[in-house]
Structure 1
Amino acid sequence: MAPEKLLGEHKYEIKCEVYSFGMLLWEMAELKIPYEDEIDPLRIFYKITKEQCREKFSNGGVPQEWKDLVKATWNQNPNYRPSFTDIFNIIQELSEQNFNLLDVNANQTDEFHSQESDDEVDDMSVEEAINEYNKSNGNKLKAWECFVMHAKIGDFTAKYWMAHFLHYNILDWPESEREIHEKQATQLFKEAADGDIVEAQLIYGDCMFNGMGASKDTIKAIEYYKMAADSDNPDAMYKVGNIYYHGDGVKKDLEIGEQFLKLAAYNQQKQAIDICKKYGIKL
């Protein structure tokens, strides 16, 4: 049962079934009962809900794509679990690669990954990777590897953070890779933005407005700024207002400009407040 149902925090929804289906995929690969070493139901409850403990893979023959998929279905936050469409697409791709669980189980071993760091990344959620990145002495490489793993299976937050790493060159990649990384970042920001990640909508708007990683497109920039503004992002409100008020790349429209600048100012956006004062826009 999904942790949110065990805690009684959420009503039943399809993402609860995604969690359970992920457990079934683990059982198929391992030929084991989950948490079979625990005899105390309360201890299992605590491990799942509080410690966020998940079963590991001991079968070295299981493809990494299968493991990544299972890990994603077990995300503590149901919003970050993949859809059944994504799940079945990945399973279909594995099937087309002639992957057969029967063959894997016939040669099953009890060996774990040879590198402990691989296990740590496998077990890390997107939220944990964000926390790792934000630590003053955090392992940013490990966080990056986690974001890459979750982005592969469609996690929009992971895609946003991959883009963040690329855009800001967090891992100090060579300058010669800068241009291609900027293009990759812009595409990832777009995918995350289309997945309703507000920060990505704002930054993708910047990419379009400034021509970073793609051709300059002010209309497209406004479209994504407005998406973020609709989610109450004051910086996005300011950017839309500023563009229309000054006619920067679009036909000047003082009415729309003032409307968005006021909204931003009401939300304590400093640049919007300064412009309203400068041009006598009454708040």
Structure 2
Amino acid sequence: MATSDRHASTLALAHALSAAERGLAVIPLSRTKLPALRSPHHDDPDPAPCHGECGRLGHGVYDATTDPARIRKQFAAAPWATGYGIACGLPPHHLIGIDLDTKSGADSSATLRELALRHLFTIPDTVVVLTPSGGRHLWLSGPPDVVVPNSASRLAPGIDIRGAGGYLVGPGSRTEHGVYSTAPGTAHLAPAPCPRALLRLLTPPPRPRDTSGGHPGHAQSDGLIQFVLGARVGQRNTRLFWAACRAYESGIGDSIADRLTDAARRTGLSEREARTTIASAARLTAGHGPTST
């Protein structure tokens, strides 16, 4: 390995450990901004869905950790890593990344300001990471009971969202296009709480609950199924997880688990992977069901 690569890897590990001290779970990244460790299941003829339960490394964002020993172990297994990713949606910050892109040709910063004026919210002072292409990542913290899905230009052209199941490239990372850095005056800040009005824009609208006395939560369940069916490649697990969380929070999770599984299969997930994701949502939302009145 070239000396410059060793130096970049050493710096990336140092930055990753520093981020972990702030409660941010990290994974090593390659120069392409992808997870540096290959999946341990890539040669399996029919790989079962695994989010790290096997105990081996290489599960992408599911390997994200704040444990210094495990971080060092991951970087030791990937000495070519020159950056690190920060997992979104995890406690204690429940990080939400607002990615203001420049490649689309749209002025995404101006678009965000227009959204703020239209919906009456203010972007608070928070961590801002500058990308090599001239874009910016705004770090916000979300409430623990809200799952923000990943999205690309759904909020507005040129604005991507990194939420549950996604990650942000950490400042100090070196990629094929340059180095990510913290904007002056923001490195000391903690991720600021996401304004409620903005949070509503980042989460799909809740579906009305059925009060007709028919199938439990019929209107809401149909909406959740359609939400899953509308997933594109790269969104399937995230959409299924979000829909399953909403279903269990509303008390209809068990009754529509089979329908959610079928919808997920129609988008391309295997039945086993779909049921694993739904089970994860059920565990996450345990004790957070609808309040009795």
TM-score for the superposition, normalised by structure 1:
0.27
Higher relative contact order (CA 8 A, sep 6+): 2
**Structure possessing the higher radius of gyration over alpha carbons:** 1
Structure with the larger strand share: 2
The structure where helix makes up a greater share of residues is 1
How high is the TM-score relative to the length of structure 2? 0.26
